[in-house]
Structure 1
Amino acid sequence: MERQVNQRDVHFELVNVGLRAQATAAGFVQLCKELRQAGSLDDPAIDRIKTAIAEEVALTCPRSIPRTQFRNDVYNRLDALFAGEEAVGDADALRFAATGER
């Protein structure tokens, strides 16, 4: 029971501090970058992480877009995020969002 109470407390504390998916994603990307810089994660591990994220996001692919294209767009954006070239934000930079297709 104590573990359940602790998880609930953590949940409410995270909500109270304003952490949402975007904040969590920003922290996760930064954590991966720090671990790579420290030598704890190598490039193949980072690639596996990006692949897992891209595969998961690709499950939400709009019907009007080929899943492979959608997945590749997401993976390319993840490359930019993990390289520090792009800030975590909305999906406006993705090809499918830029064309207005959803």
Structure 2
Amino acid sequence: MSKTHEKQKQLHHDVTHVGLRAQATAVGLIQLCIELRTANVLDDSALTRIKQVIGDELLLGPYRRHASRDDRDEVRARLDRLFAGEEKIGPVDELQFLTEGDT
């Protein structure tokens, strides 16, 4: 992870406070990344870094329990499919790292 844990936690709180957790914002970000990658504005390494910080946020959220290596791999695989813009990724309740109150 390129940011310290504390910086990531602060970013999580800042994003939450301005309401950027909305699904519409997430969908817009994903589509923007797809468009920028298609136009060769983003290279693969930039897109990988974007997916990494999203995955870190998903695994760091305040209602998550400790995620195993398999959980992290599953989140990364789902993000890869989501950012490809072509595959359905399945329901969120299939993720094992979610706690009971998360879905």
TM-score band, normalised by shorter chain: 0.5 to 0.7
Distance 1:93 1:26 in 2: 20
Instruction: State which structure, 1 or 2, has the greater radius of gyration over its C-alpha atoms.
Output: 1
How many residue pairs get matched? 79
Tell me which residue corresponds to 1:57. 58
Tell me which residue corresponds to 2:4. none
Q: CA deviation at 1:29?
A: 0.3
Match of 1:86 among 78, 85, 88: 88
Cα separation, partners in 2 of 1:45 and 1:26, compared to 1, 3 Å: same
Structure with the larger helix share: 1
Q: CA deviation at 1:39?
A: 0.7
Cα RMSD of the aligned pairs, angstroms, is 2.7
Q: Which amino acid aligns with 1:30?
A: Q
TM-score between both structures, scaled by the size of structure 1 = 0.63
Distance 1:20 1:57 in 2: 11
For 1:29-48, list aligned pairs within 5 A.
Answer: 29-48=30-49
- Whether contact under 8 Å (1:51, 1:75) holds in the other structure is yes
Gaps of 5+ in 1: 1-10
Q: Alignment partner of 2:88: what SS?
A: coil
Runs (4+) off by over 4 Å: none
- Whether contact under 8 Å (1:54, 1:74) holds in the other structure is yes
Distance 1:20 1:45 in 2: 21
